[in-house]
Amino acid sequence: MARAFVTGITGQDGSYLAEALLDRGWEVHGLATSPPASGASTTPAGMPSASPASASPASGVTIHVGDLTDAPFLASVLDEVRPDLVVNLAGISSVAASWADPVRCAEVTGLAAVTLLELAWRLQERHGIPVRWLQASSAEIFGQPKLAAGEAISERTPIAPVSPYGAAKAFAHVTTGVYRTRGMHASTVILFNHESPRRPHAFVTRKITSTVAAIVQGRADKLVLGNQDARRDWGWAPDYVEAMVRAAEHDRADDFVVATGVAHSVGDFVAAAFAGAGIRDWASLVETDPALVRPTDPAVLVGDASKARAELGWTPTVGFEELVARMVAHDLGHSTDSAD
Ligand code: NAP
């Protein structure tokens, strides 16, 4: 049986990835900063959990409790687990949080990712057994690219981040390419925004769907947002996790854009959420707060996933309206997703 070590296992993607890998017969080990409430088994170094995770790791996953910035701990876990595949999903995953603490973001999302990559490389060298690496990269590494009309972001778009998050991700992305040149099966998935009922509430999409549900149920009066004109390419998280598995299992290591190729504005997301909740006349329920506007916010980010489609046979299966409706249904208590 192949063995995977996944960081960020308690996050949105980590929880779906654990399920997908277990379904395919992988043995799954995960890194979490605190022990899971239930479901997964934990290695002895567990500490009491201070705050609930946004998603619980699947049953059947072995959790190793520690921090991505703790290199000696990671070295001992890799020695013990001896994974065939390391997937790095952990990090400060929000642009807003990276502006609040750019140095911490650089340490966790950039430097710690590269430290883990080096540890995976050393493991491979020491035992002569291939260790594959998959890094969760981001569309934010491209910043505000100058594109021709109708052109989407691809793997060839110049890397020029405009946020601390994008810069930290760019460092891990470029270094993954360095290790690929060195002979390691090291890939990146360049993820565009992807959502699900397991998205943490700090993200605008989940804030929208949970607030719309709260308005419907009389627990909130208003939805307060920043820039509603920002346009993003939003996909369904389990589809993106499917791309990760395909990239990890693919013969040739490479960088793969994972995106739908279709952009919608935050305002479109709001409209779809109210539609999903059955509310037609919602304009007076939404307010703009300039304090919520980001210092620099790329206006449009649309991805060209032709390479993933051609080489991995990957394609998105859930469209925009459907994914928003699924999130609203969950927040109204109408779905069976095992999220919080
Ligand atoms: P998420 O839900 O925010 O999960 C982030 C994970 O990172 C959590 O499990 C968290 O664990 C872990 N983590 C944070 N700091 C850590 C540390 N110091 N040590 C160990 N673990 C730490 O993120 P996601 O949406 O699943 O995204 C997965 C990856 O894809 C991230 O790297 C993200 O940047 C990237 N990505 C996501 C999107 C998207 O739209 N979702 C788009 C582009 C790129 P704890 O809960 O234990 O702190």
Q: Per residue in 193-227, pLDDT tens?
A: 999 999 999 899 999 999 999 999 999 999 999 98
Question: What six digits make up the tokens of 140?
Answer: 């934010």
Catalytic residue among 15, 34, 140, 179: 140
The DSSP H or E segment spanning 231 is strand 231-232
pLDDT digits (tens, 9 = 90+) for 289-334: 888 776 666 557 799 999 999 999 999 999 999 999 999 999 999 8
Place 40 in a pLDDT band, splitting at 50, 70 and 90: low
Q: Say whether 154 is catalytic.
A: no
The predicted pLDDT at position 298 comes to 59
For residue 9, give the ligand 1 atom closest to its CA.
9
| SS3 label, residue 40 | coil
Residue 140 annotated among the catalytic residues of the structure: yes
**What gap in Å lies between CA 43 and CA 97, rounded to an integer?**
29
- The SS3 assignment for 48 reads coil
pLDDT in tens, 69-100: 999 999 999 999 999 999 999 999 889 899 99
Looking from the CA of residue 200, the nearest atom of ligand 1 is: 2
pLDDT higher than threshold 50 for residue 51: no
Name all domains of the chain by residue range, CATH numbers in brackets.
3-199+234-261+302-317 (3.40.50.720)
CB 82 within 8 A of CB 123: yes
What is the residue-averaged pLDDT of the chain? 91
Confidence of residue 178 (pLDDT cuts 50, 70, 90): very high
% helix / strand / coil in the chain, to the nearest 5?
A: 40, 15, 45
**Of the residues 34, 56, 93, 138, which is catalytic?**
138
CA of 67 to the centre of ligand 1 (A): 12
Give the DSSP letter of residue 106: I
